[in-house]
Amino acid sequence: MNSEHEPKIVAFLCKWCSSAGSDMAGVSRLEYPSNVIPITVMCSGSVSPLYILSAFNLGADGVLVSGCHPGDCHYIKGNMYARRRMALLKELLPYIGLEPERFQMSWVSAAEGLKFTQIIKEFVKQLKPLGPQTQLRRSL
């Protein structure tokens, strides 16, 4: 059953690089699995850890936060703050037993359509064998 599982991924993409990069994947007609729902935010620096925990709580199997490469953030350093916050979250989640693969971060520039598709493909591949994420998922 596990290999059948279609993971649900939420991707927080900064508007200027990563969302534009995923647009670039579109313009270049690069195919990737449809498991990812993009949520465009202004900057990776605007992604609160609450968003990520909430996404898991609302049923996401995986969460991606993606921003501009260091030095390229449209707001100069939003991604640097994001990097710090996410580093700690990245340590905390496996500590309570959540598979480390479920939360990922990437730098994807507006030109890196291909990299975006590779990240999503890889992400889906890693999540499939893990099955659904139930630890943080709200079950009423």
According to the binding rule CB under 8 A, does residue 98 interact with other proteins? yes
Residue 29 contact partner, candidates other proteins, ligand FES, none, CB within 5 to 8 A by sort of partner: other proteins
**CA 22 to CA 115: how far, in whole Å?**
9
53 Cβ contact list (under 8 Å, min separation 6): 136
Six-digit token string for 8: 């649900």
Quick one: 43 or 64, whose CB is closer to ligand FES? 43
**CA 117 to CA 91: how far, in whole Å?**
25
**CA 25 to CA 19: how far, in whole Å?**
10
According to the binding rule CB under 6 A, does residue 110 interact with ligand FES? no
Residue 124 contact partner, candidates ligand FES, other proteins, none, CB within 5 to 8 A by sort of partner: none
Quick one: 9 or 17, whose CB is closer to ligand FES? 17
Positions touching ligand FES (CB under 6 A) are 14, 16-17, 43-45, 67-68, 73-75, 78-79
